[in-house]
Amino acid sequence: MLGARAEEIRAAADLGGAQIVVCAAWADGLSASVRCGLSAAGDADEVVILLADQPFISPAAIARVRAADGPAARAIYAGTPGHPVVLRRAMLERARELQGDRGFRDLLADAATVECGDVADPRDIDTREDLGS
């Protein structure tokens, strides 16, 4: 999913065969992007949420979080919550009702947590300089 600078990103990045969804309401906050992505997912039974600026989240971390039981699960890194996040049917409708940037944290308050620090690096990469750190 793309939001801010969607056209610039499309022009500059090789997105492979990914189906691109543009969230026109991206400025309304994180929940607008979540709602847009969930809408694009249709009636999926499970949704995995990742952030594009965390390129070192591994397939092993995704698999580990997906294997957790419950309506929602999330990765943690040395006890700090992060991504991926998995939402299942029981949580998807609640997630579609989120507003602003605060509700997602509350939604995941009881989510299963899975330590992934040994299989992924959650660094947020916003600049080329961030890649070197």
The tens digit of pLDDT for each residue in 33-46 reads 889 999 999 999 99
Pairwise CA distance, residues 118 & 76, whole Å: 11
The domain ranges of the chain are 6-131
Pairwise CA distance, residues 53 & 116, whole Å: 17
Q: What is the pLDDT of residue 103?
A: 64
Q: What is the pLDDT of residue 117?
A: 98
Helix (H) or strand (E) holding 81: strand 80-88
* Full-model pTM: 0.87
Q: What is the pLDDT of residue 114?
A: 98
Q: What is the pLDDT of residue 29?
A: 84
Q: What is the pLDDT of residue 22?
A: 94
Q: What is the pLDDT of residue 64?
A: 98
Q: Which regions in the chain score pLDDT beneath 50?
A: none
Q: Which CATH code is given to the segment(s) 6-131? A: 3.90.550.10
Q: What is the pLDDT of residue 98?
A: 83
Instruction: Give yes or no for a contact between 68 and 112, defined as CB atoms under 8 angstroms apart.
Output: yes
